[in-house]
Homo-oligomer: A and B are copies of this chain.
Amino acid sequence: MAEMMKGNVAIAEAAVRAGVRFYAGYPITPSSEIMEYLAKRLPELGRQFIQSESELAAINMVMGAAACGVRALTASSGPGISLKQEGISVLSDEELTCVVVNVVRYGNGLGTLFSSQCDYFRETRGGGNGDYRCIVLCPSSIQEAVDLMLTAYELAEKYRVVTVFMTEGALGQMMEPCELPDFVEPPKLPWGFDGKYSYKKIGIFDRDSMQEAEQLNRKYETIRAEEQRWESENVQDADYVFVAYGLPGRAVKGVTRQMRAQGLKVGLIRPITAWPFPVKAFAEVNPGVKGFITVEANATGQMVDDVALASKTVFRDRFVPTHALPCVYGLPSRKFIMDGFGQIVSGARKEVY
């Protein structure tokens, strides 16, 4: 039977069951329970846990573990994830795989402890140097988080990319009933070092960047074509389609259902992969849709770019406005959504694109 579990603990245990052999990290609220749980859990199982001297060291330790072909994990938030950007870029470049959990908290700089979605741009476009991409998963419930953890590793390993597990402070801190998956015992990854030079790796100065760029583009094209994940409802006849992910996505779902019940023709697209962005979801939308509305827990509206680009791609014959309702932090209340919607419908609030 499903049991009440705290999000961070459930995520950590799901990682254990997905076969994580190695964790390195540095505490930061609201992600710390992940590492606190693993500090106890991993050694019990004979697996490796390191509290590293910093987030920067942590991602490099993860890189070492990933290079040995095991499932490795790190988790952090806010500035801690910023410190991992160089490492994530290197992992991506070396086509090493791991999962980076970002329990997003609000704010620039030192930030706050509020739950938020303010790292969307960085996670979907990469905050390190270069033009790599990470697969970005964004669960909207603890159960979904738990179910996506194995997926996170499988996707990373299928494409040899880093998966960013982008969740929110509130999801990490809340409890709700959840059922844990079974244990899997992943084999050593084929490119993992064993000391015997079984996997031939090319030296960094011997690589052909031009050719690699082409391969990279092909890989990313494949991911875009194959791995878009989303949930949507009521989009076929919707006048307005909301787009929201994570906990706000779930909150918006409740509100749009209520609105439907009141006769308002609204629908919802809830991206589960933020990258690749679920452009395909837009193809199912009412051709006469009057607008898209993102609801995001950040200050500036970030996903609105991707929604506008998707809508430009899908609605080629006419202009469909894309609006943003950024609630800055926390979860958007019914009132916030309804007020914003009212302003949009009345024309009092202008579209972003």
Contact = CB atoms under 8 A, between A and B. Distances in A.
Interface of A: 56, 78-79, 81-83, 85-86, 89-94, 106-112, 114, 118-119, 121-122, 125-133, 204, 209-210, 213, 216-217, 220, 298-300, 302, 305, 308-309, 312-313, 316-319, 326, 328-329, 353
B81 A83 contact: no
A77 to B, nearest CB: 8
A106 B216 CA distance: 14
Given A82-B86, A108-B89, A305-B305, A298 B131 contact: yes
Most central of A119, A130, A204, A353 by chain B CB within 10 Å: A130
19 contacts: A56-B56, A78-B129, A82-B127, A82-B128, A90-B109, A93-B107, A108-B128, A108-B130, A110-B204, A114-B209, A118-B131, A119-B129, A122-B129, A131-B299, A131-B302, A133-B300, A305-B305, A312-B353, A316-B319
A30 to B, nearest CB: 13
A121 B129 contact: no
A126 B121 contact: yes
A65 to B, nearest CB: 17
A292 to B, nearest CB: 12
A308 B353 CA distance: 10
Given A86-B82, A209-B112, A122 B118 contact: no
Contacts of A125: 121-122, 125, 302
Contacts of A112: 209
A319 B311 CA distance: 11
B213 A299 contact: yes
